[in-house]
Amino acid sequence: MNISSLAVFCGSKSGVNKIYIEHAIKIGQLLAQNNIRLIYGGGSNGIMGAIANSVMTNGGKVSGVIPRLLTDKEHQHDNITELTVVDDMHIRKRKLYDLCDAALILPGGFGTMDELFEILTWNQLFIHNKLIFLLNSGGYYNYLLQHLHQMEAEGFLYEKTEESLRLLNKPEEILPFLK
């Protein structure tokens, strides 16, 4: 699979562990260096802003998609390659999925979880077959991974977690998939 654009789903807040921002900045550098367009939620705050700024600083391209109701709350990023304002969250998610070749999940809150589970569900339902990566920065997703394995053990998943979700512990681990 050739990846020319990567959707990154992540928090509009920075979180308490500095590794979240460090990993976002490193992912941004890797995307720019490998000529991979960042597709993301269009905000300038938190992890979202850090990764977009990193891609732009390193000479890459960034496409943001933000719903009108969040243009103030998430402080839309006006210093990126392209920003699209859409009517609602459903349109935003669909556009993000349509624009990307694969997706990467960084730490975040409810919105990030919503995006992760929707894209996993769409894979399961054959709506798309995009690679999905989970960057477990500082062990942030350890408990979620335990729960996914519990769902698998209890017979609720159609495939093993590792078949639908590729686990990364360091940003550099995505490099083989970008080449």
Angle between helices 46-57 and 18-33 (to 10 degrees): 30
- Give the pLDDT confidence score for residue 179 in this predicted structure: 72
Question: Domain 5-178 belongs to what topology?
Answer: Rossmann fold (3.40.50)
pLDDT single digits (tens) 63-76: 999 999 888 776 88
Taking each helix axis as running N to C, give the angle between helix 89-99 and helix 110-124, from 0 to 180 degrees, rounded to the nearest 10: 60
Taking residues 49-64, what's their average pLDDT? 98
Question: Average model confidence (pLDDT) for the chain?
Answer: 95
| 126 has a pLDDT exceeding 90 | no
Domains of the chain: which residue ranges?
A: 5-178
Name beta bridge partners: 166. 133
* Residue 35 pLDDT: 97
Percent of the chain with pLDDT over 70: 99
How high is the pLDDT of residue 74? 64
Q: pTM of the predicted model, to two decimals?
A: 0.95
